[in-house]
Each structure stands twice: as C-alpha cells, then as structure tokens.
Structure 1
Amino acid sequence: MQKYRSLLVFLLIVLGGGLLIGYATLPGAWYAALVKPTFNPPNWVFGPVWSLLYILIAIAGWRTWRLQPGGGAMRAWAAQLVLNFLWSPTFFGARMMGLAVVVILLLLATILLFIARVWDRDRLSAWLFVPYAVWVAFATMLNASLLWLN
C-alpha cells in the first residue's frame, strides 16, 4: 500500500502541475492570431494528449524513483519535468517563441537521455517515455514552424 501512495504523489505532482501550468498559461487571443502551419492540430487535442502523457511521465518517474532514487535516470527525469513545466510560461506567458524553441529542444534531449538511462534497467519506463518523445518532437517542429511563420 505504501508504494502506491508514492505513485499518487508522483501523479499529483506531474499531472496536477501540468494541468495547473496549462490553465495558468492558456493560449488566448495572441496564439489564436498566429499564422499556423498546416499540420497544427485543433486546440482540443492538446488537453487529452498532455493529460495522458503526464500520467505516463508520472508512472515512469515513480518506477525510476523506486529503483534508484538518486541515480542519473532520476536526475534526467527531474530535469525533463522542469523543462516541461517551463515551456508553457515561456511560449504562452512570455510569448518568447525563440526561447521556447531552445527550451523544447533541451526538453527533447532530456527525454531521450532518460530513455537511454533506463533502457537496460527498466525497459517499461523507457517505453512509457516513447510516446512523450514522439509528441515533443512533433511539438518542437510545431514551435519552430510558429516561430518561422510569425
């Protein structure tokens, strides 16, 4: 039972933090007025996708913490979460699309680093991050395209 309490803490931090930052930095009129690339998904897609990804991120972080709480994989996990939570305030809050590209590139690098660090020890946690890596790679192209077009 105790191990599942720690999972709940990870879910609250990751999903709760992501949702809170998302609501605090809603796209608004500024984003709506931007010229979008043809591959830009409808706005309603982002909430469900990020909610699912945050659950996967929390589970992978919890599993990693249980195996090696002070290891390099856990540090990579923490770094990606900080960068993840930094992106929305940079892009939507500060409207600094160029800096947001830098943040999201660093985020993608830390996601890939996490996958590499856990691959041999906890393949499930690595696989839990694969959809996240794919989505952030797509979001990187989207962010860069928005910068280019605007």
Structure 2
Amino acid sequence: MNWMDWYQSLLKPDWTPAPSTISLIWQILYPIIAISFGYVFVQIWQGKLPKSMAVPFAINLVTNLSFTPLLFGLKNLLLATLDILLVWSTILWIMIVIWPGFRWVALVQVPYFVWVSVATVLQISIFWMNRGS
C-alpha cells in the first residue's frame, strides 16, 4: 500500500485539515524557518552567539525533517508522534533561548509554534485513534 492510501485509511479526527491546507501552511512556514534559523546560524558562525545556541535549532531541523519519513516512509505512528513532540518542545526551547538577544527570531517562531501545536494534537489523536490497528 502506498503512503497516500495508507494515510487515507487511518482514522482521523473530523477537524483534520485537507492535505492541500497542510501543504500551504508549510509553504509559508519553511521560508520563515529558513530565514530565521539561517540568521541564527550566521550569528553563531560569526561568534556573536555561543555555539551551544545551535543545539535547539539543529535538533528542531533534524526532527522536523524526520517527521515525514517516519510517518509516511516507515508508516510508524508512534515514532512520528514522539518526533513531533520533540519538534514542538524545541520550538519552545528556541523561543526561550533566543529571546534575550534576538526577539524578532523568537517572535517569528509564533506561527510555527501555533501550527506545530495543532499538528501535534492531530498526530496524537491519529495515533490514539489507530492504536489497535
């Protein structure tokens, strides 16, 4: 079964956004993430921020990019759920650690955080609804 057929066969909450809506949201968020994270990495590279500041940003990037292969490649709802929880928690971590020096970076993460909060509740719901299958 291909990934789309598999995903369509899962039980999902009634409020699940259409795939086209999810795609549009990520098309808006990825440039925001790329610009703001890129800015932070340049500041770290230039020595204006400590190298340790890269940790939450790097973990976020890895876990964000891992979600699709975990969910649609491995078709593993548990791993995808754990992954999105890490994505969500690292966004919070990012906003807290960057706030003192670069508030604009923290503030532009708000739409990312809001969307990942919705996506996390959705993923937990899907996992829970399909736990016996």
The TM-score, its normalising length taken from structure 2, stands at 0.87
Partner secondary structure for residue 68 of structure 1: helix
The aligned residue for residue 63 of structure 1 is 39
Query: Does structure 1 conserve the Cα–Cα contact (< 8 Å) formed by 2:3 and 2:75?
Result: no
Q: 2:68 aligns with which of 88, 91, 96?
A: 88
Q: 2:110 aligns with which of 130, 136, 139?
A: 130
Partner secondary structure for residue 109 of structure 2: helix
After superposition, the Cα gap between the structure-2 partners of 1:118 and 1:92, relative to the gap in structure 1 and judged at 3 Å, is same
The aligned residue for residue 4 of structure 2 is 28
The aligned residue for residue 18 of structure 2 is 42
Query: Does structure 2 conserve the Cα–Cα contact (< 8 Å) formed by 1:72 and 1:117?
Result: no
The aligned residue for residue 121 of structure 1 is 101
Q: Percent identity?
A: 34
The aligned residue for residue 77 of structure 1 is 57
Distance in 1 between residues matched to 2:82 and 2:11, nearest whole Å = 20
Please list every run of 5 or more consecutive structure 2 residues that lacks an aligned counterpart in the other structure. none
- Opposite residue 122 of structure 1, the aligned amino acid is F
Distance in 2 between residues matched to 1:55 and 1:89, nearest whole Å = 21
Q: Is the counterpart of residue 106 in structure 1 residue 82 in structure 2?
A: no
Q: Kindly tell me the number of residue pairs found equivalent between the two proteins.
A: 125
The TM-score, its normalising length taken from structure 1, stands at 0.78
How far 1:31 moved relative to its partner? 0.5
How far 1:47 moved relative to its partner? 1.2
How far 1:138 moved relative to its partner? 0.7
Distance in 2 between residues matched to 1:123 and 1:32, nearest whole Å = 40
